[in-house]
Amino acid sequence: QHSKSRNREHARSTRLRKKAYVSKLEELVEQLTQQKAQAEQHELVQKQREEEGKKVRFNVLTTFLRLTILGPTSEQSYMPLLTPNFVLTSPVTPFRSFSRHQCCDGLRFVKGLPEVVEEGCSIRVMVAEIGKHNLKWKLVRLQKFCRAFPGLM
């Protein structure tokens, strides 16, 4: 009789321990499921922000290139795009002249709106001079530019 009672008590406590263990596992599964859903939501938001950032950067760069190659020669034109202390970094090339104070380690640093405007003027002159006396070359260059930047023209 005593061993039956002890067995029942032991079985009861085993069932209670198992029930508590299963309950803890269910809570853990629920918690991990929520964490996974939050992580997926966070990742989705990050991807959306990245895509929006890419679109903004593309639009800014496209507008910057349009201003630089085709556009007006005033600082006001660049103000919506660039901060006053903007720095444009490009490789040093032998095709144009520029101040040596802008160069360091094979790179050229164009700093601030006045230098950006000056750089734009220099690029416009260089682009205009390429194939200047050859009408066919001008047409090919214009067609390639229009294909590269379809929304600019």
Is the pLDDT at 30 greater than 90, yes or no? yes
pLDDT of amino acid 80:
84
* Residue-wise pLDDT tens digits, 59-98: 888 888 888 777 767 788 888 888 888 888 888 877 777 7
CA angle 78, 84, 85 (to 5 degrees): 125
Cα separation, 139 vs 142, in Å, equals: 5
Is residue 75 within 8 A of residue 114, CB to CB? The reply is yes
pLDDT of amino acid 151:
61
Which of these, 107, 47, 108, 120, lies nearest to 81 by C-alpha position? 120
pLDDT of amino acid 149:
67
Q: Which of 39-48, 57-66, 110-119, 136-145 has maximum average pLDDT? A: 39-48
Cα separation, 113 vs 87, in Å, equals: 9
Q: What is the pTM of this model?
A: 0.56
Q: At what angle do helices 112-129 and 2-69 cross, to 10 degrees?
A: 60
Which of these, 108, 133, 115, 122, lies nearest to 69 by C-alpha position? 122
Cα separation, 66 vs 127, in Å, equals: 13
